[in-house]
Amino acid sequence: MTLVELLFSLTLEAKLCYIGLMDISWLGHSCFRIRGSQGFIITDPYSPDTGYTLGKQTARIVTVSHSHPSHSFAQGVGGEPKTVAGPGEYEIAGVFIIGLATYHDNEAGKKLGRNTIYTMEIDGINVCHLGDLGHVLSSDKVEQMGSVDVLMIPVGGVSTLNATMAAEVVRQIVPKIVIPMHYKTPAIKRELDPLDRFLKEMGVMQTKSQSKLSVSASTLPLTTQVVVLDYKEPAPGKKD
């Protein structure tokens, strides 16, 4: 079988893995589904009372930034995943993960407690999920994070970074791609700031949302780009 024949015979998912593309889909709030060559990672899965619908997700790895039900509903993910929930260094199924201790507020955790930032090396791409970060970062913390290619950052304020603080954190980290999360949408039941405040702070006048991000180490942009992902409620009974 020739290479062309092989590619035609593969499913779309297998083709993407073969050519080294990583897929990122937003499942709502701070929850993402990341597909790499080693399988799926789910970040901060939420309980049903958030207003979002998680669907029937499966994964090898689940990351949890803190213990609130809207970020720690690991039981909602099938496939017997390994759950990472706190600072430390982890290697699971060929994925390298570092959890860094931070705070959920701007008062060293006195109001809302602790939060864990995760950096993940997936297929040569460094992904960082900030969880419910509530403060700008120290220079030491930025150094610990290392180079970041894809940054998932809360922007909705109230209990996390607001738009102004989030833009400052982006300038601290200087990632290649920024994906905003944890902001007001028609689906969510709680009050948060809308996305447009962050886009304005970032100088983004117009942006077109997309269903997912497909990226490889060789296709990363040279300068920071903001990518807005759509939330699409899974169809009833559909397995994602």
Domain chopping of the chain, boundaries? 11-226
The answer to whether 155 and 183 are in contact (CB under 8 A) is: yes
Give the DSSP H/E element, type plus range, for residue 129. Answer: strand 125-129
Share of the chain above pLDDT 70, in %: 90
pLDDT band at 207 (very low <50, low <70, confident <90, very high): confident
The confidence score (pLDDT) of residue 190 equals: 87
Flag whether pLDDT at 3 surpasses 50: no
Flag whether pLDDT at 211 surpasses 80: yes
Share of the chain above pLDDT 90, in %: 81
Q: Chain-centre distance of CA 142, in angstroms?
A: 18
Segment 93-99 mean pLDDT:
95
Flag whether pLDDT at 19 surpasses 60: no
pLDDT band at 6 (very low <50, low <70, confident <90, very high): very low
Residue-wise pLDDT for 169-186, tens only, equals: 999 999 999 999 999 999
CA distance 14 to 17: 5
Segment 41-46 mean pLDDT:
97
pLDDT band at 75 (very low <50, low <70, confident <90, very high): very high
The confidence score (pLDDT) of residue 60 equals: 97
CA distance 130 to 146: 14
The confidence score (pLDDT) of residue 235 equals: 60
Give the DSSP H/E element, type plus range, for residue 196. Answer: helix 195-201
CA distance 21 to 37: 8
- 11-226, CATH topology level: Metallo-beta-lactamase; Chain A (3.60.15)
pLDDT band at 2 (very low <50, low <70, confident <90, very high): low
Phi, then psi, of 15 in degrees rounded to 5: -65, -45
Pick the range with the lowest mean pLDDT from 11-25, 46-60, 80-94, 176-190. 11-25
List Cβ<8 Å contacts ≥24 apart for 163-171. Answer: 163/193, 163/197, 163/198, 163/200, 163/201, 164/201, 165/135, 165/136, 166/198, 166/201, 167/198, 167/201, 167/202, 168/136, 169/130, 169/133, 169/136, 169/137, 170/202, 170/224
Which positions ≥6 away from 58 have C-beta within 8 Å?
A: 40, 77, 78, 79, 81, 239
The confidence score (pLDDT) of residue 176 equals: 98
pTM: 0.89
Q: b/e per residue, 186-211, with b = 16+ CB within 10 A? A: eebeeebbebebbbebbebeeeeeee
